[in-house]
Amino acid sequence: MQNSGAGARAFQNARLQKKLMKQAETILSAAAGAYGQGRYAETEALCREILKVLPEHIDAIHLLGMCAHDGRRLEEAQELLERVIALDPRLHDAHNNLATVHFDLGNLEEARRCQEKAIALKPNFAVALTNLGNTLMHLGQYEKAIELHDRAIKIKPDYADALCNRGMVEIVLGQILRAKESFERALLFQPRHAEAIVGSGMVCSELRHYEEAAAKFAMALTIKPGAPRILAQRGRLSYELQQLEPALADFEAALAISPKLELALRGKAQTCLVMGKTAQAMAAATALIEQNPRSEMGLALMGFSYSNQGDMDTAIEYLDRALAVRPDYGDAIRGKIFLQDYRAEADFVVQQAVRRDWWDLIGSKLPRRTLAKRPLDPDKQIVVGYVAAEFRQHSAGLTLLPVLRNHDHANFKIICYYSWPGSDEYTARFKEMADVWVDAWGLSDEELADRIQADDVDILIDVSGHTTGNRLQVFAMKPAPIQATGFGHATGTGMQTMDYVLADPVFIPPSVRHLFPEKIHDLPCLITMEPVTNLQPTELPMLRNGYVTFGVFNRIYKISDQAIGVWSRLMRELPGSKIILKHGLLDDPLLRDSLVARFVAQGIAEEDITCLGTTSRDDHLLAFGQIDISLDTFPQNGGISTWESLYKGVPVVAKLGNGASSRAGASIVASVGLGDWVAEDDEGYIEIARKFASQPELLAKLRADLPAQIAASPAGNVEIYTRELEAGYRKFWRDYCAAASGETI
């Protein structure tokens, strides 16, 4: 009878379980409906009602885990989904959903493992295939990512998520037009697919169609208000437009919701670097590297954070690590080009090798333009196009302004292609001096090349070199028959499509010219400058102070440890001497304190060091009135700062180095007749500064005479300088006509 009683109880329990399961299915159906409509609190309440009576109800736990994920309670979501898998390891959906949680937590390898398990359980699982592709993209495995997205699309041709994800990888690979097609196809199947709308906006941004991009991001935010990835993309657009405060606000808003979001961390680091908030930039770069040690962007941004502090060796180590992950990473190659110019051991061989890397990996891959035949009249009005991000208050702009002002418009038609989003009073001056002005910022590389060809430009001049805002990818396409680089960063481009570098024999000596793919054309000096006439030289400070004051009014990341060592030794040998350092980044306490500490470590008292930050240009020039002698930075020399000092009557001690960038100071100083202020080595540099510091009468006379001395020199007399430059342009054109005359008459 006991057995029959036990059997009856078992039968009753089974009936109860069946009844409970039936009730649970009804409740679960209601929960799933609520979840589908985004009513997450109601969903959770219904699921918990089921779990009170059926604690191991897999579907209820699974749905609860999904609610936790959607509520950004990621650790709770992970725990719930792991519980589901423990109860039934063969649930492919649970593995895929757990992968999504790991992805959002930044655990990319765990996400990958879960997605691979889901696909092993269900090989034609399109959702897991495209999600794995997305994970692999973030791990830098772009080709494999594309393969997985294509597999998902083959299974489900109208799968908007997979099409969108494929478009994202295509953007990373620079396949912009393919990405455009992927996003358009996704939107064909699902017109309100927020991520595809964002992707379409990213394509617009890549093509420099910024107004259209902004409209797309705004549309996406109406569909998904406050979505962190969309906020981060809007922030990236603001960053591109140099609207730094709104950019930073969007990145921080995105990170408040999703603290490990790669795009937001990257954007915050980039923006903070430009704003001089180096500590914040380093923190964001550190977070990127912590969640993905192979993040090429995180590694590169950490490198740029170190370069802001003047630690170029560590900066280049990080850039090399980024390039080990992705050899054709353009930002890292350009960073290396820029930073090698700051290293004493980086001679012409090293500097040209890294430029050649850019050409081999990026520039040479771009299709060359076929140019229409043109009349070959050696004496015609030559059409000269200047491509610059520096038609504004910028050091390179100040070298170009006097040239444009003095151009002979009867013999040269001047077209300016401006490639920067903002404008200022200097932009207005440049615009007045151009025969044709083109706002090229909103033109893609292809569109700008089309415009240059349509304008029949004969000689196209790059002003930016490998610096921010350059359009060297346009020059790689060769849209003009003759191309030259100069003014802003005339250290060579490494490009087979660049015909000339505008320089001088001191800056690029004849003995190293064989290292350049370009021909070197010599001017009276590497650069000239708009004369400073509104502020006359002042009395020599030494006469009233009784001690010498040195000045360094240069970018602080040009201040090398070697230079600080030499300057400190000089100051120790001249008791009572002071030094004034001036640059906008000295507004950043981290950078200011670390720079002062480097002097203190060399035995210089903190009270003998003055740091000045951002000022107006007039106040910047007035500050030269506080110094007796300027000290040029090395190995990376000053350019405009050297000219400014000379115009203010303050001579500059310069030193010849091993590479182009370490010879600019000597080029400028010697070009105005101050060859005895140029040293060959550290000892000579100290000796020159010490010798002239002991001759206040000579310094006072030089202070009064220098402006006239500059005006009498071919380098400083901007009209003579421009005629010399134009003679070079005419020679370029005549040589081209002579070489091409066999093809066209």
pLDDT per residue over 352-411, tens digit each? 999 999 999 999 999 999 999 999 999 999 999 999 999 998 888 889 999 999 999 999
Residues in the chain: 745
Q: What is the pLDDT of residue 20?
A: 64
Say how far apart CA 181 and CA 178 lie, in whole Å: 5
Instruction: Answer yes or no: is pLDDT of 594 > 50.
Output: yes
Q: Report domain extents, the chain.
A: 226-340, 347-531+729-745, 541-715
CB 27 within 8 A of CB 49: yes
Between residues 490 and 699, which one has the greater pLDDT? 699
Between residues 475 and 70, which one has the greater pLDDT? 475
Instruction: Answer yes or no: is pLDDT of 734 > 60.
Output: yes
Q: What is the pLDDT of residue 284?
A: 97
What's the pLDDT band for 309 if we cut at 50, 70, 90?
A: confident
Q: Report which of 227, 288, 292, 218 is spatially closest to residue 72, judged by C-alpha positions.
A: 227
Q: What is the pLDDT of residue 682?
A: 96
Average pLDDT over residues 715-723: 96
Query: Which tens digit of pLDDT belongs to each residue from 562-589?
Result: 999 999 999 999 999 999 999 998 998 9
Q: What is the pLDDT of residue 342?
A: 84
Say how far apart CA 265 and CA 284 lie, in whole Å: 5
Say how far apart CA 701 and CA 537 lie, in whole Å: 11
Instruction: Answer yes or no: is pLDDT of 463 > 90.
Output: yes
Beta bridge partners of 417: 387, 438
| DSSP-H helix ranges across 524-616 | 541-545, 561-573, 589-600
Show the CA angle centred on residue 63, arms to residues 60 and 68, nearest 5°: 125
What's the pLDDT band for 5 if we cut at 50, 70, 90?
A: low
Q: Please give the radius of gyration of the chain, using alpha carbons only, rounded to the nearest integer.
A: 32
What's the pLDDT band for 537 if we cut at 50, 70, 90?
A: confident
CB 342 within 8 A of CB 560: yes
Average pLDDT over residues 100-115: 93
**Residue at token pair 């109406």:** 222
Phi-psi region of 494 (alpha: psi -120 to 50; beta: other; left: phi over 0): left
CB 69 within 8 A of CB 97: yes
Q: What is the pLDDT of residue 345?
A: 85
Q: Do domains 226-340 and 347-531+729-745 have the same CATH topology?
A: no
Average pLDDT over residues 100-117: 93
> What are the tokens at 208?
């420099």
Contacts 24+ apart (CB under 8 A), 233-241: 233/198, 233/201, 233/202, 233/263, 235/264, 235/267, 235/271, 236/205, 236/263, 236/267, 237/201, 237/205, 237/210, 237/213, 239/267, 239/270, 239/271, 240/205, 240/210, 240/421, 241/210, 241/421, 241/422
Which H or E run contains 218? Answer: helix 210-223
Query: Which tens digit of pLDDT belongs to each residue from 29-57?
Result: 998 998 988 888 999 999 998 898 889 99
What's the pLDDT band for 17 if we cut at 50, 70, 90?
A: low
Q: What is the pLDDT of residue 247?
A: 98
Which H or E run contains 243? Answer: none
> What are the tokens at 538?
């002042």
- Out of 184-188, 210-214, 423-427, 533-537, least confident range: 533-537
Average pLDDT over residues 481-504: 94
Average pLDDT over residues 254-272: 94
CB 623 within 8 A of CB 582: yes
Contacts 24+ apart (CB under 8 A), 404-409: 404/430, 404/433, 404/434, 405/433, 405/530, 405/718, 406/718, 406/719, 406/721, 406/722, 406/723, 407/433, 407/722, 407/726, 408/722, 408/723, 408/726, 409/435
Instruction: Answer yes or no: is pLDDT of 13 > 90.
Output: no
> What are the tokens at 442?
């909103």
Q: What is the pLDDT of residue 179?
A: 97
Say how far apart CA 493 and CA 516 lie, in whole Å: 8
Query: Which tens digit of pLDDT belongs to each residue from 62-100?
Result: 999 999 998 889 999 999 999 999 999 999 999 999 999
Instruction: Answer yes or no: is pLDDT of 105 > 50.
Output: yes
Q: What is the pLDDT of residue 591?
A: 87
φ/ψ of 8, rounded to 5, equals -65, -45
Say how far apart CA 339 and CA 325 lie, in whole Å: 19
Between residues 728 and 8, which one has the greater pLDDT? 728
- Out of 123-127, 194-198, 533-537, least confident range: 533-537
Per-residue DSSP letters for 97-127? HHHHHHHHHT-HHHHHHHHHHHHHH-TT-HH
CATH 3.40.50.11380 fits 347-531+729-745, yes or no: yes
Reduced to 3 states (helix: H, G, I; strand: E, B; else coil), residue 736 is helix
| DSSP-H helix ranges across 326-470 | 330-340, 348-361, 395-406, 425-433, 445-454
- Out of 82-86, 496-500, 615-619, least confident range: 615-619
One CATH from 2.60.40.10, 3.40.50.720, 2.60.120.20, 1.25.40.10 for 226-340: 1.25.40.10
Instruction: Answer yes or no: is pLDDT of 251 > 50.
Output: yes
**Residue at token pair 């009557």:** 649
Q: What is the pLDDT of residue 364?
A: 97
CA 255 to chain centre: 21
For residue 37, give the amino acid letter: Q
- How many percent of the chain have pLDDT more than 90? 82
Say how far apart CA 46 and CA 740 lie, in whole Å: 82
Count of other CB atoms within 10 angstroms of residue 696: 16
For residue 13, give the amino acid letter: N
Average pLDDT over residues 113-131: 97
Say how far apart CA 446 and CA 211 lie, in whole Å: 18
CATH topology for the 541-715 domain: Rossmann fold (3.40.50)
Instruction: Answer yes or no: is pLDDT of 446 > 80.
Output: yes
